[in-house]
């Protein structure tokens, strides 16, 4: 049975659970929340449902119930490679079933059949100013393809709530299949003298991406690892939430993903990975190109905090320990590039930053998140144009958010519309005269 048939069976089996919860248990209380939560970005308020991933504050992320290590071990891999097929991971995110190698290869073939990027996408990218941020180019490329949306055509032909997931799935898969070429094209156009490399459809998602970037193996495995690690982080983070929010208005996957990527491009979210590298370059620059000592780093960390800026790559809204996505990439570095200078600096920051943040006393989580380690590996393989790092994050994040909105449509989740209150109402509740 193919991925879409398996997904249909899962959706049919799942729907009665959601219906029962809403109809029979809709009035059951989940708890109360506070004024701080209301003003402070809704922290901890349980108002989103997803079965794709869950973020435990102490353990970190699990995808469909599996830890990062379990995902990397259990999912099928291309021969001779250390990391799983990204296409097999898509199967897993959608269904919760670990695919066989044969099932993963079916998805590889399906992606290839959908991979051709329309010429007008390249024309639009070429018409944009060359100094545009790569995330703006990336988001625009996806938005401009909205005319291809099968969901949009389905909606215009007469919407049916029960079958709407089908065209959402089609759009999601169509988009994902095209992302490696779009991302690599932006990179080669912007940073490599406008020398795009044609796709090689004999390769899988990770392999073809590395090929089009012009970076040799094992960068294909780095790409597979990177896309899987960045895919999903439950539903409340800005990119996932924005994608879900926009899709909840029955916007199609192109409109929704493009919006989510715009959120990812914020420095407090996905852009933090480029900020880490630019911060380290700043340290180098100020020291006249010298490798910083621990004392230098401590001084720069304090200078950063005292200037009112945040330490990029540290802290998290939910996590309260070192991000396992950080640890996973650190393990890669320890295995393949232990003597790399940049890795040593990032390790040194890990030694001192948590203590400084604790002494500073503001951040609830003084530990590193995914972004503090990810640029180091890219830099090692020659991708030193750190403005591009969030695009890599975006390619990975697309898998998680598109799996989520496919299921949103299957379960008919409602249009999002939280209630707002006025400041005077809060003051009244607080007893302020
Ligand atoms: N450096 C300095 N101060 C920090 C900090 C950091 N790394 N992390 C948090 N703080 C500060 C906050 O700015 C806040 O200060 P104010 O009270 O003055 O506003 C205070 O500590 C409390 O914040 P918090 O509750 O611990 O954290 P939030 O949930 O508000 O914010 C952030 C979470 C990730 C946005 C925050 O930790 C941060 O800005 N980190 C640096 C940027 C970063 O690495 N972002 C990537 C996060 C992971 C991610 O989404 N990747 O895509």
Read off the CATH number of the domain in which 323 is found. 1.10.230.10
Tally of structural domains, the chain:
2
Give residue 364 CA to ligand 1 midpoint distance, Å.
8
Tens of pLDDT, residue by residue over 190-212, are 999 999 999 999 999 999 999 99
Give the tokens for residue 121: 């996408």
User: Which residues are paired to 55 by β-bridges?
Assistant: 61
What share of the chain in percent tops pLDDT 70?
A: 100
Residue 45 lies in a domain: no
Nearest one of 386, 374, 407, 96 to 243, comparing CA atoms: 407
User: What's the whole-number mean pLDDT along residues 375-401?
Assistant: 96
pLDDT band at 8, cuts 50/70/90?
very high
Which element (helix H / strand E) includes 55? strand 53-56
The alpha carbon torsion through 263, 267, 271, 274 (nearest 10 deg) reads 170
Q: Which atom of ligand 1 is nearest to the CA of 393?
A: 52
**Model pLDDT, residue 64:** 98
Task: Determine, yes or no, domain membership for 362.
Answer: yes
Quick one: pLDDT at residue 286? 87
Distance 311 CA to ligand 1 centre (A): 8
- Express as a percent the part of the chain with pLDDT over 90: 95
Distance 362 CA to ligand 1 centre (A): 9
Together in a domain, 201 and 285: no
* Residue range(s) defining the domain that contains residue 315: 272-380
Q: What is the pLDDT of residue 31?
A: 83
Q: Are residues 339 and 280 in the same domain?
A: yes
Of the given ranges (76-85, 221-230, 233-242, 284-293), which has the lowest mean pLDDT?
Answer: 284-293
Sign of CA dihedral 58, 64, 65, 69: negative
Q: SS3 for 305?
A: helix
Question: What 8-state DSSP symbol labels residue 97?
Answer: S
CA dist 4 → 128, 165, 166, 167 (Å) = 37, 10, 8, 11
Ligand 1 centre distance from Cα of residue 238 (Å):
13
Which pLDDT score, from 0 to 100, does residue 140 have?
Answer: 98
Given 230, 233, 244, 316, which residue is catalytic? Answer: 316
Spacing, Cα 363 to ligand 1 middle (Å): 6
Nearest CA to ligand 1 atom 19: 362
- To 10 degrees, what angle do helices 294-306 and 272-286 make? 120
Among protein residues, the one whose CA lies closest to atom 3 of ligand 1? 310
Cβ neighbours around 275 below 10 Å, total = 22
80 in a structural domain? yes
Residue 245 has pLDDT above 90, yes or no: yes
pLDDT at position 339 is: 95
**Residue 53 pairs with which residues in a beta bridge?**
63
Ligand 1 atom at minimal distance to the Cα of residue 364: 26
Enumerate the β-bridge partners of residue 56.
60
Euclidean distance between the first and the last CA atom of the chain, given in angstroms as a whole number: 66
Looking at the fold, whether 262 and 401 belong to one and the same domain comes out as yes
pLDDT of residue 269: 95
173 and 306: one domain? no
Check pLDDT > 90 for residue 417.
yes
pLDDT at 30 over 90: no
**Are residue 276 and residue 134 in the same domain, yes or no?**
no
233 given a catalytic annotation: no
Radius of gyration of the chain (CA): 22
Q: Is residue 210 domain-shared with residue 297, that is, in the same domain?
A: no
Told to judge if 316 belongs to the known catalytic residues of this protein, a careful annotator would answer yes
5 in any annotated domain: no
d(CA 126, CA 104): 34
For residue 333, being part of any structural domain is answered with yes
Atom 37, ligand 1: residue with shortest CA distance = 315
Q: Which one from 211, 233, 244, 269 is the annotated catalytic residue?
A: 269
Among residues 334, 362, 380, the one where a domain terminates is 380
For range 220-242, the mean pLDDT: 98
Structural domain contains residue 423: no
For the segment 281-320, what is each residue's pLDDT rounded down to a tens digit? Answer: 888 888 888 889 999 999 999 999 999 999 999 999 999 9
**Within this chain, do residues 338 and 352 fall inside the same structural domain, yes or no?**
yes
Q: Is 323 marked active-site?
A: no
Residues 107 and 220 in one domain: yes
Most informative mutation of 315, 358, 365 for ligand 1 (most atoms within 8 A of CB): 315
- Is 20 a domain residue? no
In this structure, the answer to whether residues 65 and 121 fall within a common structural domain is yes
Same domain, 337 and 401: no
314 DSSP β-pair partners: 368
Give the CB-side neighbour count of residue 416, counting CA atoms within 13 A.
Answer: 16
pLDDT score at 32: 86
Q: What is the average pLDDT value for the chain, to the nearest integer? A: 96
Ligand 1 centroid to Cα of residue 310, in Å, is: 7
In this structure, the residue with its CA closest to atom 45 of ligand 1 is 268
Residues at CB less than 6 angstroms from ligand 1: 237, 268-270, 272, 305, 310-317, 362-365, 369-371
Q: Are residues 332 and 263 in the same domain?
A: no
What residue's CA is closest to ligand 1, atom 21? 363
Whether 186 is covered by a domain: the verdict is yes
Please indicate, yes or no, whether residues 261 and 277 belong to a single structural domain of this protein. no
What is the domain-level CATH number for residue 151?
1.10.580.10
- Three-class SS state of 56: strand
Residues 72 and 8: their CA atoms lie apart, in Å, by 26
């Amino acid at each position: 049975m193919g991925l879409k048939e398996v997904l249909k069976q899962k959706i049919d089996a799942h729907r009665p659970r959601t219906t029962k919860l809403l109809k029979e248990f809709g009035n059951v209380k989940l708890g109360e929340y506070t004024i701080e939560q209301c003003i402070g970005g809704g922290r901890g308020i349980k108002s989103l449902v997803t079965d794709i991933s869950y973020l435990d504050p102490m353990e970190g992320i699990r995808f469909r119930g599996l830890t990062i290590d379990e995902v990397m071990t259990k999912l099928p891999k291309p021969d001779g490679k250390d990391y799983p097929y990204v296409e097999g991971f898509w199967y897993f995110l959608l269904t919760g079933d670990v695919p066989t190698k044969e099932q993963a290869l079916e998805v590889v073939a399906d992606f290839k059949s959908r991979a051709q990027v329309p010429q007008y996408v390249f024309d639009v990218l070429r018409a944009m100013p060359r100094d545009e941020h790569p995330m703006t180019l990336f988001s625009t490329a996806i938005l401009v393809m909205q005319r291809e949306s099968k969901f949009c055509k389905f909606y215009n032909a007469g919407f049916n709530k029960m079958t709407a997931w089908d065209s959402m799935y089609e759009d999601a898969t169509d988009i994902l299949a095209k992302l490696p070429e779009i991302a690599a094209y932006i990179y080669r156009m912007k940073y490599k003298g406008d020398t795009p490399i044609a796709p090689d459809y004999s390769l899988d998602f990770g392999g073809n991406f590395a090929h089009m970037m012009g970076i040799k193996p094992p960068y294909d495995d780095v790409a597979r690892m990177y896309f899987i690690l960045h895919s999903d982080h439950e539903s409340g983070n800005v990119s996932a939430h924005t994608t879900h929010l926009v899709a909840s208005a029955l916007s199609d996957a192109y409109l929704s993903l493009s919006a989510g990527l715009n959120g990812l491009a914020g420095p407090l979210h996905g852009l933090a990975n480029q900020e880490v590298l630019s911060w380290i370059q700043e340290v180098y620059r100020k020291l006249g190109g010298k490798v910083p000592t621990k004392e230098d780093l401590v001084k720069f960390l304090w200078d950063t905090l005292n200037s009112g800026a945040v330490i990029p790559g540290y802290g998290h809204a939910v996590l309260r320990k070192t991000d396992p996505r950080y640890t996973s990439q650190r393990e890669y570095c320890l295995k393949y590039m232990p003597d790399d200078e940049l890795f040593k600096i990032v390790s040194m920051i890990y030694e001192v930053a948590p203590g400084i943040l604790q002494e500073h006393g503001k951040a609830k989580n003084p530990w590193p998140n995914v972004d503090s380690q990810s640029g180091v590996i890219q830099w090692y393989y020659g991708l030193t144009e750190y403005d591009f790092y969030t695009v890599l994050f975006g390619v990975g994040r697309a898998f998680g958010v598109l799996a989520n909105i496919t299921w949103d449509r299957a379960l008919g989740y409602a249009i999002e519309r939280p209630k707002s209150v006025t400041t005077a109402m809060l003051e009244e509740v607080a007893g302020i005269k």
